[in-house]
Amino acid sequence: MERIADRLDAINRHTGRVIRWLALIMVLVQFAVVLLRYVYGMSWIALNESVLYMHATLFMLGAGYTLMVDDHVRVDIFQAKAGAAGKARIDLFGHLVLLIPSMLALLYWSWPSVRNAWAILEGPISVGGIPAVFLLKSLIPAFCVLLIVQSVACLLRNILTLGNGGAR
């Protein structure tokens, strides 16, 4: 089970390594947008939208990596005082009852919109913008899949923790 979890982790680890560069690129592009607008009086809608696209990509595709490295937002009411076995049980509940079902629901309900966007190759958000809303909408199912993959890896590790009597 540990090897399977490691292979699932590798998907999000690789994705995280690739998209982390978007943070730097996004800052540089946003700096260029501000510089062009306020120093030179120039503005391009597509350049402005590129920051939106990068921001969406960074957060949607980075969510699985964030879960993998345990840097996600956690409501720590019960888990703070729990031991390793208690934390594993709480995480099992969270993954099985909250995360995976919500990602499956989001995947199910967003798919028609994504499919339709691809069918018509949905164009820009604004006139003169990036003609690729279909790619932006595709981030939603990718987000769901990457979180489900990471959730399964976490589930396997929690099962191993409980099988080892709470020792990790």
51-97: per-residue pLDDT in tens? 999 999 999 999 999 999 987 777 777 777 788 888 889 899 999 99
**Which of 30, 21, 65, 72 has its CA nearest to residue 48?**
30
Residue 39 lies in a domain: yes
What's the mean pLDDT in 36-50? 95
CB 47 within 8 A of CB 29: yes
Residue 77: what pLDDT? 76
Residue 157 lies in a domain: yes
Q: Give residue-wise pLDDT tens across range 135-146.
A: 999 999 999 999
Residue 110 lies in a domain: yes
The separation between the first and the last C-alpha atoms of the chain, rounded to the nearest angstrom, is 14
Domain count, the chain: 1
Residue 168 lies in a domain: no
Contacts of 38 (CB under 8 A, 6+ apart): none
Domain that holds residue 77: 2-163
Residue 87: what pLDDT? 86
SS3 120: coil
Kindly tell me if the per-residue pLDDT of 165 is higher than 70: no
Residue 105 lies in a domain: yes
Long-range contacts formed by 126-131: CB under 8 A, 24+ apart: 126/45, 126/49, 127/45, 128/44, 128/45, 128/46, 129/45, 129/46, 129/48, 129/49, 130/46, 130/49, 130/50, 130/53
Please name the residue ranges forming H helices in 96-132: 100-119
Residue 95 lies in a domain: yes
